[in-house]
Structure 1
Amino acid sequence: MVTKRPRWAPDPETYAARKPPRSDAYREVADREDHLRETGIWWTEVDTSPIVANDTDGAWRRFRANLPEQVWNAARLEGMAFTLAEVQTLLEGHTVGGHPTTDELRMLALAQAYATLRDLVGYGTFGVDKSTSDHLNRIIARHETPDAGRFRGEGTLRRNGSDHLRSRFAVLREHLAETDDARLLALIYFCAAARTRFYGAGNIRTALLMTNGILISNGCDAITIPGPRRLELDHALDTLTTTDDATELMRFLVDCAR
């Protein structure tokens, strides 16, 4: 049943005209507060157009073909001095010598995590959810912490803070569900996860895998952060940590995607 509008109710145009105009500065402050409340970070306008969206199958095939380079660059960001050829050898199931055992174990874990992401996207089972993130972190950080795959406070050292992290992740997912641009969604996820540090180890590596899962699932190529740009990444992460401002880090990731 459709009810008539009461005579005292102004039409939408009249109502809008009566509302005081919001200045750009006011809107920016309001947006910042909303972003901080929902994601733990804030940002100003970021041009996501350099991250080109094509088709999911093509993006997945390119990710699969470039897997050794993806793993190699991720390892260099962590200070692991493997060559691209050695990474290729490890991905083929063979061992390489000349490296500390801890580095080789971490490299194998990283390679398996990237292969796992490849399969999750390929089979259509990737999701922007805690179980997927936990699964990837469990692989990546398995040689670094006994609590791999668990939010801080969920594992051997249980703390009440784990409830806060689970709540933070749930609110973040709600915000992402309302984000129309999948490219911006991926950037928000990476920066929010990097700032919150859900896990005891492997946060940046896990965040990048989840980010690339979002991108590939939406037809965009995965982002590779070249090893030589580690200092730029560190600077952007430092800005994020000290100010909660993710703009620099988002723009850096977009630049890496060009």
Structure 2
Amino acid sequence: MVTKQPRWAPDPETYAARKSATNDTYRELPDREVQLRDTGIWWTEVDTARIRQSDTDQAWRRFRASLPELIWNAAKLEGNSFTLPEVRSLLDGVSVGGHRTAEELQVLALREAYGALRDLVGYGTFGVDKSTSDRLNRLVARHETPDAGRFRGEGTLRRDGSELLRARYAMLRQHLAEIDDPWLQALIYVCSAARTRFYPGGNKRTALLMMNGILISNGFDAVTVPYARRLELDHALDTLFTTDDATELMALLVDCAISEG
């Protein structure tokens, strides 16, 4: 079952992305101080008008067909040495030699996480909420940290900072709930979550999964940064982490979506 229309219920547990506005060029942006207060990042104008939109069913089917490439790219950007044919073999249950166990486990964890996202979107249960993010992080980082699926400070090493992270996540969701354009929602989410680092590990991969959940639920294709553009990604992430400016990373993700389309 694939939902044709994403849900929109801005209460804390059932929030999901809203359909896009007609004009996808962001012309009226909130004050930078408001952006930083609500999301921990700031950005300037980004144009998404050329990005193709279809419907949830078609986007979901294309997502399912491209899962090996998405998983390979996500792993490759983490420094994983598996090739795309090797990833395909591993996903088909065929053992692949010549790699560290940690690399194989990373690919298998990504398979589980992307499979979970496929099912969440397919059954209309994907939501932009902490429980969904926790579930995806638990799968992505399950072999990397004993606290996978829990915000920093919520797990084995409990610290007061976990309350601040939960408050930041609530502010982010409230900010997204006031935005009509799902592409802007997705961009803000992925940049804010990557910058804030809610989890002990797997933050960028989890943020990308959540971003693609928003996009697919609204009839846009899933997006990833090709490994060939890793240097651009590294530069954009460095800018984000040193200045809180997400504009460069947002523009890169938009360009990747246009290039793939």
Greater shift, 94-103 or 219-228, is seen at 94-103
| Counterpart position of 1:82 | 82
Structure 1 residues 126-163: Cα deviation after superposition (integer angstroms, max 9, x where no partner):
11000000000001101111100000000000000000
Q: If the length of structure 2 is used for normalisation, what is the TM-score?
A: 0.86
Letter in 2 for 1:104: E
Question: TM-score normalised to the size of structure 1?
Answer: 0.87
Residue identity opposite 1:147 in structure 2: D
CA distance in 2, matches of 1:169, 1:127: 14
| 1:63 lines up with 2:35 in the alignment | no
The equivalent residue for 2:137 is: 137
TM-superposed CA distance for 1:29, in Å, is 9.8
Deviation of 1:82 after TM superposition, in Å, equals 1.0
Find the aligned partners of 1:256 and 1:245 in 2 and give their Cα distance. Answer: 19
Moved more, 113-122 or 197-206: 113-122
Equivalent position of 1:116 in the other structure? 116
- 1:69-114 CA-partner distances (Å, limit 9, x unpaired): 1111111101111111111122223322111111111111011111
User: Is 1:219 the counterpart of 2:233 in the alignment?
Assistant: no
Structure 1 residue identity aligned to 2:169: F
Task: State which structure, 1 or 2, has the greater radius of gyration over its C-alpha atoms.
Answer: 1
Q: Distance in 2 between matches of 1:226 and 1:133?
A: 23
2:73 is equivalent to residue 73 of structure 1? yes
Q: Secondary structure at the match of 1:257?
A: helix
Aligned residues of 1:51 and 1:221 also touching (Cα < 8 A): no
1:49 match: 49
Unaligned runs of 5+ in 2: 1-27
Give 2:8's aligned residue: none
The percentage of counterpart residues that share the same residue type is 74
Q: Which residue of 2 aligns with 1:202?
A: 202
SS in 2 for 1:201: coil
Instruction: State the distance in 2 between where 1:120 and 1:94 align.
Output: 27
Cα distance in 1 for residues equivalent to 2:172 and 2:234: 23
Deviation of 1:50 after TM superposition, in Å, equals: 3.1
Tell me the residue number matched to 1:128: 128
CA distance in 1, matches of 2:29, 2:214: 28
Larger fraction in helix:
1
What residue is the counterpart of 1:7 in the other structure?
none
